[in-house]
Every structure is written in C-alpha cells, then in structure tokens.
Amino acid sequence: MWSDALAQTQAPAGPPPNPAIAMLVQFAPILLIFAIMYLLLIRPQQQRQKKLEEMLKNIKKGDRVVTTGGILGTVVGTDDGKVVLRIADEVKVEFTKASITQVLAESGS
C-alpha cells in the first residue's frame, strides 16, 4: 500500500515557468491601477496647480480678483508674497497671493 502511493507520482510535464513572467502577471493589475490613478487624479491636479501658480505670478495692478473668502477687489499693489486690494472706496486690504483664487478681468488703470 505504501509503495503504491510512491509509485503514483507524476513526472514533470515540461520546463518550469519563468518566475519573472509569473511575477509580472501577478503585479500587472496593481501597475494598471496606479497608471489609471496617475492619469485621472494626479496629472490633472498638477496641471491645475501649475496654472494657478502662473496666474498668481502674473497678477498686476488693475486686475480684478476673487479671494478664497469670496471678497472681490481690484489690485492696487503687489509684492513678492502679498497683494493690496481695493475692496471699496478708500478701503484697502492686504492679502497673501495664495489667497487669490481667480483673476476676473482687468479694469484698465
């Protein structure tokens, strides 16, 4: 009985599969998910951030802007990290450039 169990082992059918290919097949879905996340989430966010930085760099006197708090104002002065906005007659307020979310239009100073 014991000898029958040993006699029933099968001989290998062919050469063993390549471990590199097996690993690639195993990790392919994970790599595909990361590629899709990059194309749908990371890349568009990088493009928006680049566009926002370019807009902030090009702010100049006379531009009409919106702040993160929803305040509309006209730029009357700029510095490296801040802008001075006129939000009403004789009312000027300093904001950081990072608080500017949108440039609406130029008022033509």
- What are the pLDDT digits (tens) for 8-52? 666 556 666 788 888 888 888 999 999 999 999 999 999 999 999
List, in sequence order, every residue forming a beta bridge with 76; answer none if it has no partner: none
- What are the pLDDT digits (tens) for 47-98? 999 999 999 999 999 999 999 999 999 999 998 889 999 999 999 999 999 9
Please give the share of the chain, as a percent, with pLDDT higher than 90.
65
Output the pLDDT for position 24: 82
**Rounded Cα–Cα distance for residues 106 and 109 (Å):** 8
Is residue 108 within 8 A of residue 62, CB to CB? The reply is yes
| Identity at 109, one-letter amino acid code | S
Output the pLDDT for position 9: 60
